[in-house]
Amino acid sequence: MTEEASCRGPVDLVVRGGTVVNAGWRGPSDVFVSDGKVIALAAPGTPVPKGSSPDEVDANGMLVMPGGVDPHCHVGFTSGEYTSLDDQLQCTTAAVFGGTTTIVDFAIPRPGQSPLGEVERRQAAAGEGLCDSALHGCVVEWDDSTADQLREMAARGVNTIKMFTTYRGESMADEYTILRTMQAMRETGGMVVIHCEADHIIGEAQRRCAVEGGVEASRMAATRPEIAETASVAEILAIAESVGAPVYFVHQSTAEAVELVAAARRRGMRAYSETVAHHLVLDEGVYAGTHPERFVCCPPLRSRQTVRALGRHLFTGEVSTVGSDHCCYDTGQKLENRHDVRDMPNGLPGVETRLATVFSTYVAGMDLPVTRFVELVSADPARTNGLYPRKGALLPGSDADIVVWDPSARWTMRSRDLHMATDYTPYEGMEVTGRPRTVVVGGRVVVHDGELVDPRPQGRALAAGPVVAF
Ligand code: URP
Ligand code: ZN
Ligand code: ZN
């Protein structure tokens, strides 16, 4: 804490009276902001320098946290015949309402399109957002141009490359392509981020379901068994280890998968586990309900026992980050092919609900330390995306992206009160504790008491630095 630093003017915003929470540290502090940056954490009540007349945000009784960094967020994502329904403005609007002030989107090329072309298209849209965004590139097939494209992406600040071991014919990459891409990323200081489900095991499970029991949405969990994830994670770890490359596993849905990654870390690999809010909060019981199609995502929701075991790894430290895997389809799209999950759009809306569902379930409900919460939803997503400490921290020099969080607000999630470009939430009717009261983006108060008070787009395409090892 630096009392005297408050005298370095000019101050244009002060967040007063709250408890600042960074990863690993919390304490009463006022946050001084100038020109979009945090300039000081000061003792409560520290006066502003003469000549400054900053706006003040009252944070008494509140937690003051770095805005959420969502490491896994699909904006207007096309897969097969379906495109999710939001654009940059809609997605980032929902994000800031939920306390997330940085999203990391995916530039996934359509068949025949170049990976770099999709990066350029999405970076050009960043300015339409209410908050900043970064990108994961994507490689589906290695060819003569891939190495140059990866170098050009790195030059444009895209240092993480998404790959898939499933979705055959769409975005699945073969092992040779994965190995080559990992080698190339090792050279640029970047990292492959990978969706692991063994496609052959899933194909066989789907074929078996089709002949006995069915492949409608209510059968989602049976069509993509846990073993498909375990098998694929083990193989990808072996490839990464063989070439000495770091690797980040997206949306891990089982403790077994997380534990494979943790064991790799213990033998010296740089390997990271991401899990996502819906795998931590919901279970496969919803597939037996009246709207199973609303919960169709890959990997699918798992048994209650698996969810409990996965959630335990928020406490053990084995999970590195918590994302949303936001994918904004509506019920019309979800219903169309509900009789066959192989033809359905996969994915759940969640960029706005990530912080509240995880805070409520694990911090309010199970005493997860709030410093660990910040680490999971903000600091470590910033680290794994080469954005820390500009993002994911409230430190002098960090961007002034701040969420003033009411830890005891109780509310009911209703899709009509949310801002995502869809007509449902997987959490309809869920009673939760904790919500953002004020959200500051780049030093400007953007959301206050559930109202958008500054709708001016100010998003920037963030250039990722090298991934910070931890
Ligand atoms: O079901 C999901 N997760 N849909 C989004 C695409 C992906 O696999 O991340
Ligand atoms: Zn995925
Ligand atoms: Zn995803």
| Domain match, 61 and 205 both | no
- Look at residue 155 and tell me if it is in a domain: yes
Q: Whose CA is nearest to atom 5 of ligand 1?
A: 347
Q: Which of 172, 293, 346, 354 to mutate to test the pocket of ligand 1 (most atoms within 8 A of CB)?
A: 346
Whether the predicted pLDDT of 3 surpasses 50: no
Residue 234's CATH number = 3.20.20.140
Ligand 1 pocket residue status of 105, Cβ below 6 Å:
no
- Look at residue 300 and tell me if it is in a domain: yes
Whether the predicted pLDDT of 8 surpasses 60: no
| Domain match, 49 and 76 both | no
Ligand 1 pocket residue status of 297, Cβ below 6 Å:
yes
Ligand 1 pocket residue status of 171, Cβ below 6 Å:
no
Average confidence score pLDDT of the chain = 96
Q: Which of 325, 326, 343 to mutate to test the pocket of ligand 1 (most atoms within 8 A of CB)?
A: 325
Residue 33's CATH number = 2.30.40.10
Ligand 1 pocket residue status of 347, Cβ below 6 Å:
yes
Whether the predicted pLDDT of 6 surpasses 60: no
| Domain match, 108 and 225 both | yes
- Look at residue 467 and tell me if it is in a domain: no
Tell me, yes or no, if the pTM score tops 0.85: yes
- Look at residue 460 and tell me if it is in a domain: no
Dihedral, CA of residue 366, residue 368, residue 374 and residue 379, to nearest 10 = -130
Residue 372's CB is within 10 A of a number of other CB atoms, namely 20
| Domain match, 117 and 262 both | yes
- Look at residue 390 and tell me if it is in a domain: no
| Domain match, 55 and 203 both | no
Q: From the CA of 79, which ligand is nearest?
A: 1
| Domain match, 141 and 234 both | yes
| Domain match, 274 and 412 both | no
Which ligand 1 atom minimizes the distance to the CA of 166? Answer: 8
Centre of ligand 3 to C-alpha 197, Å, is: 13
Residue pLDDT, tens place only, 320-353: 999 999 999 999 999 999 999 999 999 999 999 9
Between the alpha carbon of residue 462 and those of residues 155, 157, 186, 351, 437, the distances in Å are: 12, 7, 21, 18, 26
Ligand 1 pocket residue status of 325, Cβ below 6 Å:
yes
- Look at residue 466 and tell me if it is in a domain: no
Centre of ligand 1 to C-alpha 20, Å, is: 34
| Domain match, 84 and 193 both | yes
Specify the pLDDT at position 407.
98
- Look at residue 391 and tell me if it is in a domain: no
- As a whole number of Å, the end-to-end CA separation of the chain is 24
Which ligand 1 atom minimizes the distance to the CA of 297? Answer: 1
Which ligand 1 atom minimizes the distance to the CA of 250? Answer: 9
Distance separating alpha carbons of residues 400 and 439, to the nearest angstrom:
10
Q: Which of 384, 411, 429 is the last residue of a domain?
A: 384
The pair of structure tokens assigned to 147 is 């190495």
Distance separating alpha carbons of residues 101 and 442, to the nearest angstrom:
9
Q: Which of 384, 419, 444 is the last residue of a domain?
A: 384
Ligand 1 pocket residue status of 262, Cβ below 6 Å:
no
Ligand 1 pocket residue status of 220, Cβ below 6 Å:
no
Structural domain that includes position 243: 67-384
Specify the pLDDT at position 130.
98
Share of the chain above pLDDT 70, in %: 98
Whether the predicted pLDDT of 272 surpasses 50: yes
Specify the pLDDT at position 9.
60
Residue pLDDT, tens place only, 30-71: 999 999 999 999 999 999 998 899 999 999 999 999 999 999
Q: Whose CA is nearest to atom 2 of ligand 1?
A: 347
| Domain match, 34 and 171 both | no
| Domain match, 129 and 219 both | yes
Whether the predicted pLDDT of 7 surpasses 80: no
Total of domains in the chain: 2
**Residues sharing a CB contact under 8 Å with residue 113, sequence separation 6 or more, in sequence order:** none
| Domain match, 186 and 290 both | yes
Q: Which of 361, 384, 407 is the last residue of a domain?
A: 384
- Look at residue 463 and tell me if it is in a domain: no
| Domain match, 185 and 321 both | yes
Distance separating alpha carbons of residues 242 and 323, to the nearest angstrom:
28
